[in-house]
Structure 1
Amino acid sequence: MIRQELFFDTKRPDADLYDRLAREARSGEVGYYRLPEDPQGVCDEIAAYIEKDDIKSCRTIVVVGIGGSSLGTKAIDRLLFHTSNRNKKRLLFLENVDPIEQQSIMKGLKLDESLFIIISKSGSTIETTSHFKYLLEHFNLSFEDERFKRQFVFITDSGSPLDRFGAKYGLKVFHIPHNVGGRFSVLSAVGLLPLALVGYDIKALLSGAKTLKDSFFAKNEDLMVKKAHYYATHAGQYPINVLFSYGSAFEEFNAWYVQLWAESLGKIDKNGERRGLTPVGLIGSVDQHSFLQLIIEGPKNKTVTMIKIEDFETDPKIPDISLPYLEKTDYINGHGFGELLGAQCDATMQSIVDQGVSVDRLVIERLDEKSAGYLIFYYELLTSLTGALLEVNTYDQPGVELGKQILKSKFS
């Protein structure tokens, strides 16, 4: 499904690192570890919901949420958009409160053809509730309107303000487990509902995650543990972690990774020291023509992870045409575009390794629901491991909360 390769030296992993995460999982304080087993039966609940005639008739799915409520869903949809399971429904996202973007998304939206998924773990995210209010006014909906109850669904924590609102007015509500943080929630209803609505096999997605989970807790993922140990123990020397993903389908995945890594690891540790690693997401081969120069000849303060797809399942050939004056490009004639991209990944990686930069690679056999679930869970586990080694609370975000308090004071 996915194999990992390390191109730097590091120590043999300490078995206690597996045990630390196992204890964390058993404690029940961190709930994302259990999501691959679908303990709440969310897949069956979703299957029943999307079979309703008024839901099946919706041609546009609008996710109203931000950060952990949207990035993971966007990532997986972009990774799998080319696959045969993807249906023709539009999947849109009302996230940022940028008025230009908002109005662009609103153009052409028809209430009776759209399903609006309001997602907020806390139930009171200011961007989400602001878009929600706008939608109510735009479509002239009252709380008692049957169209409101039919075309809107909520995903939130049980007992949150949004949950109580939904219960009062009879809306369908899916619950996020209390012990699952927003940026770790894509394998809950947060991601599973919209992904199922556009046709993906969400049980296969969870199955891919479970494959890695079982392997990890059987202590069979030494390369991942070595990588986390290297990142944590060399954080002062290599504070920047570059994810160089070869394929445009990874653009939204990179954005999800940036949030997960930055918001989880950028903390004050138990000794009062500022800790953190800075994530950078790049796309190959595009960023070979920009950021690569900095990696090769800039400060040696970065690690690099390459992601490569082995089988694109479609690979049109570069025509055997010789262009006058451009004959030096003929060496690639007759080869596939995917073959070229893979070779570029290999060549770029070798050039980085040759400069003494610490590099590892994830090789994905093909992009499908199982590999997407595996990849998501890989980065969640890697984040938990690295956070434990940095001795920070991987699952809170006090710095973000401070900004929210200041914002509120500006409007008071």
Structure 2
Amino acid sequence: MPTFKGYYETKNLDPFTLEKAYEALKYERETVGYYDLPSSSLSLCSEVKSSLLHKTVYFDTIAVVGIGGSSLGIKAIDRLLRPSTPHAKKIVYFENSDPISIEYESSRITFAKTLFVVISKSGGTVETLSIFKYLIAKFDIDLMNSEQIVVVSDEGSVLSQFADHYRLKRFVIPSTVGGRFSVLSAVGVIPLVLAGFNVEGVLDGAKNFADDFWARKEEHLLQKAAYYVTNAKVSPVNVLFSYSDTFEEFGKWVVQIWGESLGKRNIRGERVGLTPISLIGSVDQHSFLQLIIEGPLNKTVTFMHIEHSRYELKIPELSLPFLEKSDFVNGESFNTLINAQCQATMQSVLQSGVSVDEITWECIDESSVGKMIMYYELLTSAAGTLFEINTYDQPGVEHGKKILESYFLNK
């Protein structure tokens, strides 16, 4: 299970600030639906297995048609658990309105062996609906009673009405669950269960962490939220430096939930927020690290790494002419090397005066994935309450959608 350690000073934090965040989240729990998803989605897993799983024997690919909160969390879990779930069906993602990606991804699937999961909370996401139309036309899909299409959307949305009209299998996203907090709802459960992942294990890990949080056993989370918000003007940039390629999609999910939730105007109309950046170690030591260490002191850095890898690859005891400089790591495992790189980089960042915390995964398994999803959701909500904002809307995004629509209508 992941463990957490902060290297920044917390003794000067106002205890009232921590209590304020905790009590606000307790109050939110009555109306914000994501808090209860680890429990309520268990029945959804059973429903999918009883009603749909037997049909997936005909399919080798799950095509997810969705964007943002309708895809990022799925991709994160898929990437993290794929190495330990080799039997899982291939998942192909249709997200962006980029013709290059759409054509490439559609060329990778065999229609007769593909189950399409169309996801849009509002039901009107223009990218998702446009790509769905393209796929219908490209593969000449017979929509009525199709067993190759599953729809996930809000009850009563236009997409849900469409599904009912064509008698398609449909699942509901709870109205109290926002899109970017929806990965543990039908949004993530449906495609991941159909692909063959152990979603119950993910939900169990999320529930265990949430239970510990409500029992005041995860105070580090409140301390981190309070520290970030208290120092937001001094350190407005939060870097997640993850030492494994498997964290790449997880980092993108964190960027969305952090950035879209916290970049708002507060109750006094003031602009607030924190800017998330996701890096991968050791690759980004060769690109972004210089800026962290000698650039402006306006960042915090979270280092995340895996203590035990399932792959014990060794660096050969091989000394080559002219290349002897790297022989000091001969015989070591690559996991030992990447963790040492993480620790060395963390020490250099600490010595440069940057605030740092560390998240250590013992290994990557379903429980740990669920725990980290709930950790970042709760951390985001706690920071949002301290910023005195609505963590769950996105008025800036909605404004851009209206401009886009008017652009085409007025052509």
Which TM-score band (shorter chain)? over 0.9
Which residue in the other structure is 2:89 paired with? 89
Give the CA deviation at 1:88.
Answer: 4.6
Tell me the alpha carbon deviations over residues 265-305 of structure 1, each in whole angstroms, 9 at most, x when there is no partner.
00000000000100000000000111000001000000000
2: CA distance, partners of 1:5 / 1:109: 44
Alignment partner of 1:260 is 2:257: yes
Which residue in the other structure is 1:303 paired with? 300
1: CA distance, partners of 2:380 / 2:20: 16
Give the CA deviation at 1:69.
Answer: 0.1
1:103-252 aligned within 5 A = 103-144=103-144, 146=145, 149-252=146-249
2: CA distance, partners of 1:39 / 1:99: 35
1: CA distance, partners of 2:117 / 2:74: 12
2: CA distance, partners of 1:348 / 1:328: 20
Amino acid at match of 2:21: L
2: CA distance, partners of 1:336 / 1:49: 45
Contact 2:41/2:185 (<8 A) preserved:
no
2: CA distance, partners of 1:49 / 1:322: 58
Which residue in the other structure is 2:37 paired with? 35
DSSP-derived class of the 1:223 partner: helix
Amino acid at match of 1:45: E
Matched positions, count: 405
Which residue in the other structure is 2:67 paired with? 66
Contact 1:315/1:339 (<8 A) preserved:
no
Which residue in the other structure is 1:2 paired with? 2
Amino acid at match of 1:256: W
Give the CA deviation at 1:388.
Answer: 0.6
1: CA distance, partners of 2:157 / 2:282: 44
Which residue in the other structure is 1:371 paired with? 368
Give the CA deviation at 1:55.
Answer: 2.2
Tell me the alpha carbon deviations over residues 223-255 of structure 1, each in whole angstroms, 9 at most, x when there is no partner.
111110000010000000000000000111111
Identity between Structure 1 and Structure 2 (%): 52
2: CA distance, partners of 1:386 / 1:365: 26
Contact 2:236/2:274 (<8 A) preserved:
yes
Give the CA deviation at 1:142.
Answer: 4.1
Q: Select which of 44, 47, 59 maps to 1:45.
A: 47
Quick one: structure 1 residues 405 and 278, their matched pair in 2 at CA, closer, same or farther if it must change by over 3 Å? same
Which residue in the other structure is 1:315 paired with? 312
Quick one: structure 1 residues 341 and 108, their matched pair in 2 at CA, closer, same or farther if it must change by over 3 Å? closer
Which residue in the other structure is 1:397 paired with? 394
Task: State which drifts further: 70-79 or 14-23.
Answer: 14-23
Amino acid at match of 2:247: F
2: CA distance, partners of 1:61 / 1:47: 15
Give the CA deviation at 1:108.
Answer: 4.4
1: CA distance, partners of 2:185 / 2:88: 23
Tell me the alpha carbon deviations over residues 359-397 of structure 1, each in whole angstroms, 9 at most, x when there is no partner.
000001110111001111100000000011111110000
Contact 1:241/1:302 (<8 A) preserved:
yes
DSSP-derived class of the 1:155 partner: strand
Contact 1:64/1:93 (<8 A) preserved:
yes
Task: State which drifts further: 106-115 or 11-20.
Answer: 11-20
Tell me the alpha carbon deviations over residues 172-213 of structure 1, each in whole angstroms, 9 at most, x when there is no partner.
001100000000000011111111122211111000001110
DSSP-derived class of the 1:242 partner: strand
1: CA distance, partners of 2:369 / 2:285: 25
Alignment partner of 1:57 is 2:54: no
DSSP-derived class of the 1:361 partner: strand
Give the CA deviation at 1:106.
Answer: 1.0
Q: Give the gaps of 5 or more residues in structure 2.
A: none
TM-score normalised over the length of structure 2: 0.96
Give the CA deviation at 1:40.
Answer: 7.4
Amino acid at match of 2:90: R
Q: Which runs of 4+ in 1 moved over 6 A?
A: none
Contact 1:86/1:199 (<8 A) preserved:
no
1: CA distance, partners of 2:294 / 2:83: 36
Q: Give the gaps of 5 or more residues in structure 1.
A: none
Q: Select which of 347, 350, 357 maps to 1:350.
A: 347
Task: State which drifts further: 103-112 or 11-20.
Answer: 11-20
Which residue in the other structure is 1:25 paired with? 29
Task: Provide the alpha-carbon RMSD of the alignment.
Answer: 1.2
Give the CA deviation at 1:81.
Answer: 1.2
2: CA distance, partners of 1:279 / 1:16: 24
Which residue in the other structure is 2:323 paired with? 326
Quick one: structure 1 residues 93 and 182, their matched pair in 2 at CA, closer, same or farther if it must change by over 3 Å? same
DSSP-derived class of the 2:156 partner: coil
2: CA distance, partners of 1:343 / 1:126: 45
